[in-house]
Amino acid sequence: MRYLGEPGARIGYGGQWGKAYVGVNVHGEFFKARQYSSTNFVNSGQVPNRYELKYLTQSGRMGLQYGFQLTPGYLLAPHVLFYGVIGVNRTKLQVDQDAYLHLNGGVNFVNLHESLSKNVYGFDLGFGLAVKVKHHFGIRLQYDTVRYGSGYVEKAGYAPDDSITSVTAYTIYYTKMRPKTEAISLGLTYYLES
């Protein structure tokens, strides 16, 4: 797990009815260090007298994450708001994949690398606390977790050609990645109302 400062911004609109509050916003964050990794050990995938896929490793990373949030809340005090977060996010998942093969009964060992990318959507849940400290300024602390339920599916497999030393793509295996992000954000808020 890594704890790093990451840039982000949001703009929104909200209304208050008594102590109840409802707001909406659009936002974007740059997750430069978020990673999702998995290793699959494969015992199948053998082609007689040709090759055997020993194991497969995938790692994923995301860059810009952006989306829409609904923020219902309750005023705990005149300038203190507790709120929930429900939203939808979108990001591009970049997957790096390494396959390790034994060729010709284990005589040769080959490592193959492949990079793939796909846009994925996720469901955003969280909560936060906003405190107004000056006429137009406030501080906001928020926790979010986003589960990208659409996942990532890609056919991944390899088979050698006649030269033994090189390989060509050959579908033998499916993998699915379901990334998840968790973030705690602390930020400065500017209020346009008087």
The domain segmentation of the chain, as residue ranges, is 8-190
| Residue range 72-122, pLDDT digits in tens | 999 999 999 999 999 999 888 777 766 665 555 554 555 566 666 778 888
| Residue range 133-158, pLDDT digits in tens | 988 899 999 999 988 865 544 444 44
Q: What is the dihedral of CA 164, 167, 173, 177, to 10 degrees?
A: 130
Please state which of the four CATH numbers 3.30.470, 2.60.60, 2.60.120, 2.40.160 is assigned to the domain occupying 8-190: 2.40.160
Please report the pLDDT score of residue 150 as a whole number.
54
Q: Which residues of 144-180 are buried (b: 16+ CB within 10 A; e: fewer)?
A: bebbbebebebebbbbbeeeeeebeebebbebebbbe
Q: Is 183 exposed, middle or buried (0-12, 13-18, 19+ CB in 10 A)?
A: middle
Please report the pLDDT score of residue 178 as a whole number.
72
Cα 169–Cα 175–Cα 180 angle in degrees, nearest 5? 135
Please report the pLDDT score of residue 42 as a whole number.
44
d(CA 156, CA 97): 9
CB atoms within 10 A of CB 80: 13
Q: Per-residue pLDDT for 64 more than 70? A: yes
Strand-strand pairing, 51-77 and 20-30: antiparallel
| Between 124 and 169, residue with greater pLDDT | 124
Please report the pLDDT score of residue 169 as a whole number.
41
Q: Per-residue pLDDT for 50 more than 80? A: no
**Which among 68, 32, 53 has a CA at the least distance from the CA of 146?**
68
